[in-house]
Amino acid sequence: MKNRKIQLVLAGFFLFSAGLPVLAQEKTGEEKRLEASASELDKKHHGDQERMAAGIKAEFGVDDGRIMGLRFRKMRDSEIAISLALAQEMHGGLTDKNLYEIVSLRQGPPVAGWGKIAGKFGLKLGPVEKKIKKISAEFRKRAKADRTKKEMADKAKAAEKTGKPEKSGQPERTENENMKALMRK
């Protein structure tokens, strides 16, 4: 009797484990690349939600309310951007209905991967990945510009304290040269 139970348990275990690869769909290369880009976006830009929201708004033309609504659903910035990008690619574009369908599939139950969601609507993940990379690049560019502005302001304050003029490395232009430069623009 004990042996029979053990045999049934083992048989059930082997049958179940044999079916796992079918249940856990294999991710495509496209989906793996998208997830890598999304992970990079979340890791490198974590903590600066204001600048990230500005990048997402600029890329997709959405307002703060939509971004806050998605954050309220406990979505990371990368998930918000991917959801918006997929909805934008759908028939009808970025509408509340399209976005709702994507978010509800993503959050489940059952939770669907990005590849499965894209496949359901006949979409490709390549264009979505490009948008995620573009947002990340714009974020880095804005952060670098902000750092440069801050550094210049700090140098100006330091020069003001010491009473020495700031050296920019370039000779100062005369008034005539400034006028010529303005006329060229």
Q: How far apart are CA 50 and CA 16, in angstroms?
A: 46
**pLDDT tens for each residue of 123-163:** 999 999 999 999 888 888 877 888 888 888 888 888 777 76
Query: Residue 67: what pLDDT?
Result: 93
DSSP structural state of residue 170: S
The pLDDT of residue 175 is above 50: yes
Residue closest to 41 by CA, chosen among 140, 128, 111: 140
**pLDDT tens for each residue of 19-70:** 444 345 577 888 889 998 888 888 877 677 888 888 899 899 999 999 999 9
